[in-house]
Amino acid sequence: IWTADIVSSNGDKSEYVIRNKPYDGDIHNGDSLNVDIVGRTPGSSTAPNCRVFIEGQDHGNPATSAPQTQAPSGGGGSQTQAPSGGSASPETVTPGASCGSAKSTKYNYGDALGLSILFFDAQRSGKMPASNPIPWRHDSAMNDHGDGGVDLTGGWYDAGDHVKFNLPMAFSAHVLAYGLNRWKDGYSSSNQLQNMYEMLRTPLDYFMKCWRPQSQEYYAQVGNGAADHAFWGRPEDMHMQRPAYKCTASNGGCSDVEGITVAALAAGSMAFKASDAAYSQRLLASAKSLYDFANAHKGIYNKGPISDATSYYGSTGYKDELCVAAMELYKATKDAKYLNDAKANFEGNDVAWALSWDDNHVMCELLLYEETKDNRYKGLVESFVRSYMPGGSVHQTPCGLAWRDQWGSLRYAANAAFVALAAAEDGIGGDQFKSWALSQINYILGDNRNHLSYEIGFGSNYPRQPHHRGSSCPNPPAGCGWNEFNNPGPSPQLLKGALVGGPGQNDEYADSRKDYTKNEVTCDYNAGFQSALAGLASMAKRGCLPNSPAPKC
């Protein structure tokens, strides 16, 4: 049972008394309470004819007795909805469908979306394109290479530093590609579709350089963490050695980083299928061969060949990444073997702690539910989102931010909002999930006690001192070093679109370059945030958004 607790049952287990979760203590008129129940019985019995009553009500009242039930495939379960003037069948939602005329919104999510794309453009490594929109960024790290001179230029710098860590880079690329595939109209209505395509090619091109199918090796990191962090300056001015770290068939498995790279490549292949079929096929071929390699040589990358990543992006498992990889390949190919692999890698007994570069469990569950409609996956997705809502297990700041952790507090809230929006369009949570997601994104954009947009460049009040090297440097020929790090003033370059780490658990925040907890910026901080913005822009265009909730501060 999900979203309710069993209070008691009779002797033959034919009747149960269940109580709603605390977060469902108040159900507004017209809203629904969805409780998923799975029962198993020996033999080939068909699903029972379930009857549901509200305690304390007249059991003969047609408004409260015997709601319609629907047994899911696999037998034994039912779905009900709390009636509103009569019993109701389960909600049916068609993702991407119009709900009416376009809706005005409190904040311009399209503008915030365009700014976020510019942040990823500022993170580019290697040769900058002719269309480079960041005037203070130029070619950098043009000597990045692997064994035998393998070209490893390109990709994104991870954060304010200049290491290329593929685990968070691939996580970011996957979440962004999923958001593009899901809410393409959010990009087109914001006049950002072409910019998004150009931005997304950067990591996808790089991943195809990292995977060497002929020699069966995958490069998962460029740059040494300690050597890189000893430097403060422009990426164009780096002179330290930048070693490349790779996974091979003989030096230990890297299924986590390889798996999420597969997911990014496969999702990318679907994103480009209509606009560049040849490129799409290259991406899919790379995804399929890398998936086979990751499955054949299983292991955690930083416990094997890439121990340097342990202090920065240490992984705790790989089955969730392999599940997401298999699901994206299934969506791209409709080959049932990938769906079976994903089910085999599903680990869902506990509600996911977060969606992050190291935790893709809820993404695995969301993708599985979208393709199978199995209530096992639905229940875990719903419980994940509700754990971040008021009444759930995640701490709420006085101003209403779901505050999971001090490191990238806004990242966790934005990622959960992204999941909530996708779930709502899959028929889970409805307007309640959309309203909560709005509250989190609106908090980021200004609905907080500081009246501050935590996305740099959005509005007129935003952080001016991100913990980011390149933006702290004046224009050449002026030098740049630790004096610029210690500069108490605003950064000379505006790092448009970057989402800073965020406030503390009581909404406290100070804009300081030296505070790499609250003012760090990273690619994975922006990824779920940007896809949530795409979802909101899409839903606003289709008239599918509820009104913005009132800010708590």
Distance CA 225, CA 427 (A): 43
Distance CA 539, CA 541 (A): 5
Can you give the three-state secondary structure of 62-83, one letter per residue?
CCCCCCCCCCCCCCCCEEEECC
Count CB-CB contacts under 10 A for residue 502.
28
Q: Are 419 and 179 in contact (CB under 8 A)?
A: no
Distance CA 18, CA 82 (A): 14
Q: Which residues contact 438 (CB under 8 A, 6 or more apart)?
A: 536, 545, 546, 548, 549
511 belongs to the catalytic site: yes
Closest CA relative to residue 71, chosen from 113, 41, 38: 38
Catalytic site residue from 185, 198, 371, 511: 511
Identify the three-state secondary structure at position 385: helix
Distance CA 198, CA 193 (A): 9
Q: Rg of the chain over CA atoms, in angstroms?
A: 24
Identify the three-state secondary structure at position 88: strand
520 belongs to the catalytic site: yes
Burial of 105 (0-12, 13-18, 19+ CB in 10 A): middle
Which residue bears the tokens 């770290």? 245
Q: DSSP assignment of 475-544, as one string?
A: STTS--SHHHHT--S--SS--TTPBP----TTS-----TT-TTTSB--HHHHHHHHHHHHHHHHHHHTT-
Distance CA 392, CA 398 (A): 15
**Three-point CA angle 85, 86, 92, nearest 5°:** 110
The β-bridge partners of 211 are: 218
Distance CA 449, CA 439 (A): 14
Residue 183 Cα to chain centre, angstroms: 14
Catalytic site residue from 144, 370, 520, 524: 520
**Three-point CA angle 421, 447, 459, nearest 5°:** 100
Q: DSSP assignment of 202-221, as one string?
A: HHHHHHHHHEETTTTEEEEE
Q: How far is CA 142 from CA 139, 155, 199, 219, 238, in A?
A: 7, 11, 19, 16, 10
480: Cα within 13 Å, side-chain hemisphere: 22
Can you list the positions of beta strands (E) in 313-446? 395-396, 402-403
Active site residues: 511, 520
